[in-house]
Amino acid sequence: MSNWPWLLSLVFASTCLALDNGVTRTPPMGWNPYNAFSCKTTDAQYRAAAQSLINLGLNKLGYNYVNLDCGWQGKTRNATGGFTWDTSTIPGGIPALSTYIHNLGLKFGVYSDAGYFACDFVGGTAKYLGSLGYETSDANTFASWGADYLKYDNCYAVSQTDFVDFNPPIQIKPHYTAMRDALAGTERPIVFSICEWGVQDPARWPGGSVGNSWRISNDIGPPASWDNLFRIINQVVPITQFAVPGSWNDLDMLEVGNSGLTVAEQQTHFAFWAAAKSPLLISTDLTNPSTDTLNILKNTRLIAVNQDSLGTSIKFKRRYSNDHDVWAGPLADGSTVALVINWQTSSRSLTFNLADVGFASANAVDLITGASLGKLTTTYISTLAGHGCVVLKLSGATAVAAPAFTYYNAAASTNTLAGGAATRAVNSSLTVVGNIGNGAGTLTITGIDGGAGGTKTLSLDYINGDFTFSNTACSNCRNAFISVNGGTPLQVQMPISAQSWDILFSGYLVSLSGFKAGKDNTIQISNPNAWAPDFFRVGVSQ
């Protein structure tokens, strides 16, 4: 263990305690207006949404929170320094709105900000009230209004003139712990949703010691887009282990029902969020939802996965670049949920290899359709729409032996580093090779045992701290191009390992052909257009 210090953070994460405030033993579910109405939501729209949850039967499925978002606040405090509301937006007052929602049997959520002013949709010019420096007073006010939930944003965190700062020169965690403690002091059970947009890697604070959920990324929208989903899915890859009962990775609100995504993309979005144990907050106009929207939001099988008492997120298992992803995780009844995402834009037949989730065979139920598929052996072939998915509940599984690997250190003296590629000492026991790619840098690992030759599975241990808050060509990922014995390189899309360059991601699997018999094989890693991750070692299946 002394030679593997980076594993300590994973051990700690899996045993850390969640925020002990008696709420969110399963992810919260409800409605928030932001993606539908931005910061312009009125009292009437909040009341209509609350009534819609009842009329549509969504409350009976667990969607019980009706949460305010930005735009409800006043711009000046009252004579005693108390929080105020915008009487043109909420003419009846917040206490009356809270009472209305509670009388429907629902729960009421408020919104504030950990900065000097709150976020808005007019470039920071609204100057809505924030709670920085007023945490105790505001927490008591929110509790007195009957708040059951607080979404706590991150605008103007640095100064009264710095609206949005994704790289603040201060530590923002104390802003959130101050409100955490203030809420605890009210003795009212209030869900604390920390909305710091993933700034400063909150999952590793750990987030569970601060809030009931923590945003892992920048906003999902508006507008909705598949690129936003890809960015967020990549960002959750290295932190799924931090989700535990009481505290959750928050992948942001749902775009189901909004324009910008196909029905298949909305289905994938909902299924992934549910299986990743993200809060499920509807963020569309519910006064006239489509049948497709309701079918997705009311899928009781996927809701059951989200609300499963074990509280374990699906984890990244395998990526076939530009083809499909495989994710899986355990459920409380001993079964496994497996989710396969079609990365291609067209409908096609896609093969799921059960070995990618550790099984040779299993009984399966399709959690989107509810169909029983019987016993699957080795593979399952289904037709998926472009950017569609299949979600399977697997039970009675027979395990398949995991492949054994022979490992080759990237920094070994026998390897060839060219074009600027160079070693980097991460700590006293971990050295990686970086500066790979950007058109020049290459790492060539030599003396690899190819056994009998043919196709081998590679296990890659790497560091990629190149996170982003906006969509790029490979958002929250880097491409490596890997070739065997000088053959055609294979593109490998590799998600971030953390929001820093000192945490290793282990066991990224990829299959490559072109190995020859014997111990004189080479593997070269490059990228002709951009930087690849930093590599620690490459395992080759025996």
In the residue annotation, 120 being an active-site residue is answered as no
Q: What CA–CA distance (Å, rounded) separates 341 from 339?
A: 7
Helices (H), 39-172: 43-55, 94-103, 135-144
C-beta separation of 268 from 388 below 8 A: yes
Helix (H, G, I), strand (E, B) or coil at 234: helix
Helix axes 226-236, 263-275, angle to 10 degrees: 20
Handedness of CA 533, 495, 342, 457 (dihedral sign): positive
Q: What CA–CA distance (Å, rounded) separates 98 from 261?
A: 33
Residue 236's H or E segment, with its range, is: helix 226-236
Please give the order of strands across the beta sheet that includes 315-320.
315-320, 324-330, 336-342, 389-399, 359-366, 372-377, 379-384, 348-353
Q: What CA–CA distance (Å, rounded) separates 524 from 449?
A: 15
Q: What CA–CA distance (Å, rounded) separates 27 from 474?
A: 29
Distances (CA, A) of 24 to 19, 197, 304, 471, 530: 9, 20, 15, 31, 42
**How many Cα atoms sit within 13 Å of 337 on the Cβ side?**
31
In the residue annotation, 461 being an active-site residue is answered as no
| Catalytic option among 138, 153, 201, 252 | 153
In terms of Cα–Cα distance, which of 236, 196, 242 is closest to 215?
Answer: 196
| Catalytic option among 219, 292, 366, 449 | 219
Q: What CA–CA distance (Å, rounded) separates 329 from 2?
A: 29
Helix (H, G, I), strand (E, B) or coil at 270: helix
Q: What CA–CA distance (Å, rounded) separates 367 from 400?
A: 23
In terms of Cα–Cα distance, which of 219, 96, 214 is closest to 164?
Answer: 219
Radius of gyration of the chain (CA): 24
Q: Which residues of 494-512 are buried (b: 16+ CB within 10 A; e: fewer)?
A: bbbbbbebebbbbebbbeb
Q: Which two tokens stand for residue 392?
A: 């399977």
Intra-chain end-to-end CA distance of the chain, in Å: 24
Torsion of the alpha carbons at 456, 462, 466 and 470, rounded to the nearest 10 = 40
Catalytic residue set: 153, 219
